[in-house]
Structures are given as structure tokens and as C-alpha cells.
Structure 1
Amino acid sequence: MDRLQVLDKGYVRLVGVMGSDLTIVNSARVSYDKQKAEMDSKDERLINFLIREGHTSPLRHASLQFEVYAPLMVARQWWKYVVGSDHTMDAWNESSRRYISEDEQFYIPAPTEWRSKPENSKQGSGETLKTAIGNKFTKALMQYVEEGEQLYNFALLNDIAPEQARLFLPAYGMYVRWYWTASLQSVLHFLDQRLGHDAQAEIQDYAIAVDAYTKAHFPAVHKAWQEHRK
């Protein structure tokens, strides 16, 4: 998987992986000074036991590194898993318009993608709105983005510093790019919450991509996690 497309212009790309299912097994067995070179059914049962019983510290000895391109509203939801993490081994580096002036990209929901407010909750979404209503707001958002880009470029042409010129860009829908490196334990914690039915739809789409990479590289852990996840 070179990279997985998400939303209209976003993606998730796996940059690197440290460890495997066997890494988890050997990390757990180091207490007994034991190490194995290949996985077998006993090791799968050990992984199942560790996850079932919540003994997840061995999962911190494996990690995944992703490149993510997503709207800022998704990035800021994701960011809390770094600043609030107790799982260690998390790192985040994000592109900055203080230093670069690459072409702006914005997330524009299609007319069929606008959602209503939920009836009995202060957060989340309700039903999908009628296309006629969605079409109105897709056009309005496109106009808003175009005006912001024009002001941003006008500021740059008048020698305004990029770090200030970016104030004219509509923020929440603007795509940003970052690297996220996290322990396997932290990745599974992220997936626990962002694959949930009550997670915002846009970040759910990104979680599905992260989940696909995780399953591909840690199949035994992923299988046990799926079986025992809350």
C-alpha cells in the first residue's frame, strides 16, 4: 500500500514500521530470559492473553510512522493523542506556513456530504441533509475559500510575512501535512476511539486507513485486539 486516499484530497501513508508480532512476544518473555526467532500458536495465545488481560506494555516496543494529509479540524482532534498520551513513544512534526508557501488545499464536502445537527447531543452529527441544501453550502464554502486565498496571495505580494499572511486562510478546512510516530499501544488506543460510531465521520475515515496498515503489519495483535476491544 503506497498510500491510502481519504476524503477528497487527503491520504495516509505508512512511512516505516519498527517491530512485528514477534517483537511483542519477545518483549513479554524477556522477564524469563527467553527469546524466539519465529512465531507459533503459543505466541498467538500469549498475545491474546496480554491484550485480553490489559497487559499492554509490550506493545510499546513496536511502533509505526505515518505521513498524514488531512484538514486542520482532523489534525487538531488527532493531536490530543500526543499531548494527552500516557503510552509514550509518540512524536508529531507538522508542516508550517511560517516556512513554506505550497499550494493551498481545502476540504470541500460534496453536496451529498453535509450533515445536520444531532437531536439529543451537543456534539457529533445527525442525518445527511438534502442535496439541494448541501449544494448551497458547498458553493458558499468554495466562495469563502476563494476569497481567503485571494487575500493571502495579496498579502504575500505586498511583502507581508508568510507567518502573518496565513491569517487570511480559512483554517479548519485547510489541509496540513504531518508525521505521526506512535507505539503500537498508542495506535490501538487511537483506533479504539476513532473507529467508534460516535467519532466524527472525517476522522473515522482516517482511522480506517491507519487500521488497515496496522492489521497488515501486526496481524496477531490486531486479531486479538479486535476480539477483545471494548
Structure 2
Amino acid sequence: MSFLNVLDKGYVRLVNHMGSDLTVVNAARVSYAKESDELNEKDIKLIKFLAREGHTSPFRHVLVQFEIYAPLMVARQWWKYVIGSAHFEGTGDSFEAWNESSRRYITEEPTFYIPASGEWRSKPENSKQGSGEILDETVGMKLTSELLEYIDSGIQKYEAALNNGVCAEQARLFLPAYGMYVRWYWTASLQSVCHFLNQRLEHDAQKEIQDYAKAILELIKPLYPHSIDELIELG
């Protein structure tokens, strides 16, 4: 499996990967000029030890590449992990790469995330961020309808600007931004991916990015089962 649908129109696609649990083991054992040919119980114990004691550099020898299609509000939360990866991994250099499609260069039909009437959430009672319970569906129907009207108006103005000869990089100003789907490639070490998952699988993470985190986990769990078991803190 290399593709999972997320939200109403989004997806995560596993494009490529390098390494395995054995890669982690051998990256650690090279300190003693040793190497395993096949993963065995001793190797699995080593993975447990590395994760438990915070010896994380061997997990950075495994790389995973995804194509992601998500609303801009999800993409901008995600982007923080690329910015912070150099500090997090303590290397002075980033172990992540991000390349995103740009409406400076493309004019494909805009696509937007539109919550269904039963998906609108209330604000939380005791926090300035996050969300609470699902709103009454009557309210949700009104919100979905209003959002559709707002998006339609923006698209009409965007297309009119293009037809009037406005460059794509300025015409996009008419598009409602946060719900618009964007597409990007994300390449990261296994350590970075698991750091992202540990934070975005938490119950208090925004639901939309939780859904993407669950898809990422489902795609990589079969590739690195022992490392994932030790690096992901599933509550």
C-alpha cells in the first residue's frame, strides 16, 4: 500500500523510501565495525535500547519520501517541522526537504477543503486553541453553504483577473487561502517523521492534521515495524 485518501479531497502517497530496521541496527553497530545480515532478536533489543536511551542518530540513516495533498492550514502547521529539524536533530543541518507546487507557475483549477455539515466543531471551553464538540447540524449546514458561496466568489474573481491579463502570482490573491489544497513532496529521516507523528497524533492536535498523521503512520509502519514501535508514543 502506498496511497491513502485523507479528508474530502486530500491524500498521502508514499513515493520512495530508503533503509529498514536493519539499517538502523547496522548504523549503530558500525561503531564496533560489526554488521548484521538479517534482523534477529539481539538486533531488536538494540533498537529498543537506542530509542529508550535517546541514541537517535542511527534512525536518521533511514529516509522516507511522501507526496502530500492537503489544505494550506495543514501544510503550514506541517512546515514547522522542516524549519525546526536542524535544531531538533542537533546536527546543524536539516534532515528534511520540502518542495511545494506554486500558483506563481501553475493555474490548475483551485480545489478547496469543505467540511460537511456534520464536521464543524465548536471552540473549546478551556483553551484558546483547538476545538470542542461537533456543532448542531443545522448550524453546520449554514456554515458549509456560506463557505461554498465564499469560495465560489473568490474563484470567479481569480478567473476574471487571469482573463484580464493579471499574472498568476497576483491573481491568486483573490483565492480563499486557508482551505485551498496544496501539493508538496516531503522527504525526512525516520527520526523526524516520528517526531512529527508523536506531536500530531496527540488528542489535542488539530483533527485535520491528525488525519494526515494517521495516514503517514499507516504507510510507514509495515516498513519499519520495530523502530516505529519504539519511537512512537501511542497513548
Number of the residue aligned with 2:78: 78
Which of 209, 212, 219 does residue 203 from structure 1 map onto? 209
User: TM-score if structure 2 supplies the norm length?
Assistant: 0.95
How far apart, CA to CA, are the structure 2 residues paired with 1:115 and 1:31? 52
Which of 217, 220, 223 does residue 226 from structure 2 map onto? 220
How far apart, CA to CA, are the structure 2 residues paired with 1:23 and 1:93? 26
How far apart, CA to CA, are the structure 2 residues paired with 1:224 and 1:147? 49
Shift of 1:222: 1.1
How far apart, CA to CA, are the structure 1 residues paired with 2:76 and 2:30? 38
C-alpha distance after superposition, 1:111-135 (max 9, x if no partner): 0000000011000001110100000
How far apart, CA to CA, are the structure 2 residues paired with 1:50 and 1:19? 17
Number of the residue aligned with 2:5: 5
Structure 1's consecutive aligned runs of 4 or more residues displaced over 6 angstroms after TM superposition are: none
Number of the residue aligned with 1:53: 53
Shift of 1:229: 6.3
AA paired with 1:70?
A
Number of the residue aligned with 1:124: 130
AA paired with 2:135?
L
Pairing of 1:18-167 with structure 2 (within 5 A): 18-86=18-86, 87=89, 88-167=94-173
Kindly indicate whether the alpha-carbon contact (under 8 Å) linking 2:85 and 2:95 is maintained by their aligned counterparts in 1.
Answer: no
CA RMSD of aligned residues (A): 1.1
AA paired with 1:128?
I
How far apart, CA to CA, are the structure 2 residues paired with 1:213 and 1:184? 13
The SS at the match of 1:173 is coil
Shift of 1:214: 1.8
How far apart, CA to CA, are the structure 1 residues paired with 2:41 and 2:196? 28
How far apart, CA to CA, are the structure 1 residues paired with 2:174 and 2:46? 54
Structure 2 portions without partners, runs of 5+: none
AA paired with 1:211?
L
How far apart, CA to CA, are the structure 2 residues paired with 1:123 and 1:111? 21
How far apart, CA to CA, are the structure 2 residues paired with 1:229 and 1:168? 41
Shift of 1:2: 3.5
How far apart, CA to CA, are the structure 2 residues paired with 1:170 and 1:202? 18
How far apart, CA to CA, are the structure 1 residues paired with 2:17 and 2:154? 39
AA paired with 1:5?
N
How far apart, CA to CA, are the structure 2 residues paired with 1:99 and 1:13? 23
Which of 169, 181, 185 does residue 179 from structure 1 map onto? 185
What is the aligned-residue identity percentage? Answer: 65
Shift of 1:220: 1.0
Could you say if the C-alpha distance between residues 229 and 143 of structure 1 is closer, same or farther in structure 2, counting changes exceeding 3 Å? Answer: closer
AA paired with 1:37?
D
How far apart, CA to CA, are the structure 2 residues paired with 1:100 and 1:192? 34
Shift of 1:171: 0.1
The SS at the match of 1:177 is strand
